A and B are shown apart, each in its own frame.
Chain A
């Protein structure tokens, strides 16, 4: 991926298997978020290919990528600020509902039943992340950590097969981080999905991820099981002198 003359993600290749929880780590500016933006169609890669379920998803727009079963959260929280917590989640159900424009106005057919079903599922998801008591608040009035969790709930509500989490634990304290990682692991089992998550802090991902790959200056420098990454020369070098210890 190039922006003007700047190559910011270069020949990164990896595979996320079904039902795998993979961590992507690397220093700030390594190109991790850019990888997410390429996968989800926010940026079109200038070269290379992205294949999901055997199909190239490069030509697709973000909403089409979402329809294929990939959802994401944003590092710089992008909740819908004039919507309540539950309506933030509600929006994710739109792509799968039967009651579109006119049947919603005329409240025809399955409309009422569908709305009730969605209300129920929103409550279930919010409950799981301990956000139910805040469901009628504006999303922007939630504490920071809860906003991050709401981003995950909103992404999950699109019923993805692959979930991309961009620094979901950013800004949380160490115990909150561990709790969240355990929750993410549980979510993976419960919803039977694959997860690719970005995390700045290596210690946090080591515990939960089945596989980790490391980006530095837009290049992949390592890819393997947590134990392998921990002992990898290049990774140690990249992180040496950094405040992050393995």
Chain B
């Protein structure tokens, strides 16, 4: 069983590596959709750990994604000369640079997750939904007002002048001075995206199926009973929340280095809702279900481009139909209960 999951993980890494070699011949439009599918699987699976398995309702996943995304593209542009001088511009140099910004983005999101999570998760009840909702909006508004990362205009790179001045837009009075524009580097590809898809699946699967990981489900089912059996429920809730935030940060890094442009509006409330919908539609706590829902909800809008303004209405209708016909989610299990 354990040997099997390790083998499966390693062989999927090899597969991802091999597919990546042929990625150049994939139609660019399909390639983009495939990358977005991967990013959404990372987002939905990491949120599933919080909302599905641990039963805590987080509504701010886009906020963590924004932190990871913005921090990492700021690093890989403002510090581009440093990275290029230190690690070079070859495949390996870029890989090392990307690993550094990936870890930085994930870690920053995790740390903020800790700050937001600890006070709200210590309380019983749905404080987390309200706190995370507010938190994600605050993050967005803060970014909208931060000129170094382009504020509400968005961020696609940085001008570095000879005299050391750095700015995301051309600086008027330095018009004659020569400058170099460092655009967000296109680091994200099939390999990196699906490397993290494989990692999060392995991570959540192994965790949840271990004895220790069953503690998360016990917290969801009955906090008082879990505490009485020796489970530090706060610790379990916080660790699920923080690792979920970490992977949302990673997803943000991948997104930023694929799109090569971030706008605060990419991380608005609707993005958080979209991820929550994937988790609910997939059946809270069902890994396969949530992955399939992430795939479907990434492809669906592509078919519905002409009616894209109505996307949220369609999501809402989908949810209502779901709740009426399959409340356990598309692929979630149903608990049979004998009458007492």
Residue of A nearest to B2 (CB): A107
27 A-B residue contacts at CB 8 Å? A71-B228, A71-B230, A79-B225, A80-B225, A81-B222, A82-B217, A82-B220, A91-B218, A91-B226, A91-B231, A92-B229, A92-B230, A94-B211, A94-B212, A94-B215, A95-B231, A99-B210, A99-B211, A100-B212, A101-B239, A104-B206, A104-B210, A105-B203, A105-B210, A141-B336, A141-B337, A143-B338
CA distance A185 to B268 in the complex (A): 61
CA distance A224 to B222 in the complex (A): 36
Q: Which of A137-159 contact B (CB under 8 A)?
A: 138, 140-144, 154-155, 157-158
Residue of A nearest to B339 (CB): A144
Inter-chain contact B212/A101, CB cutoff 8 Å: yes
CA distance A96 to B231 in the complex (A): 10
Inter-chain contact A154/B229, CB cutoff 8 Å: yes
Inter-chain contact A104/B211, CB cutoff 8 Å: yes
Report which of B227, B285, B338 forms a contact with A82, defined as CB distance below 8 A: B285
Chain B contact-residue range equals 35 or more
Give chain B's interface residues, CB within 8 Å of chain A: 2, 5-6, 202-203, 206-207, 210-215, 217-218, 220-222, 224-233, 239, 285, 335-338, 340
Contact with B along A13-29 (1 / 0, CB 8 A): 00000000000000000
CA distance A42 to B212 in the complex (A): 23
Chain B contacts for A95, CB-based, 8 A: 229-231
Closest Cβ of chain A: how far from B7's Cβ, in Å? Answer: 12
Closest Cβ of chain B: how far from A76's Cβ, in Å? Answer: 11
Inter-chain contact A42/B231, CB cutoff 8 Å: no
Residue of A nearest to B334 (CB): A138
Q: State whether A61 and B227 are in contact (beta carbons under 8 Å apart), knowing that A82-B220, A107-B206 are contacts in the complex.
A: yes
A194 interface hit (Cβ, 8 Å): no
Inter-chain contact B335/A40, CB cutoff 8 Å: no
CA distance A175 to B203 in the complex (A): 49
With most chain A CB atoms within 10 A of its CB, the pick from B229, B233, B336 is B229
Inter-chain contact B229/A90, CB cutoff 8 Å: no
CA distance A84 to B215 in the complex (A): 13
A129 interface hit (Cβ, 8 Å): no
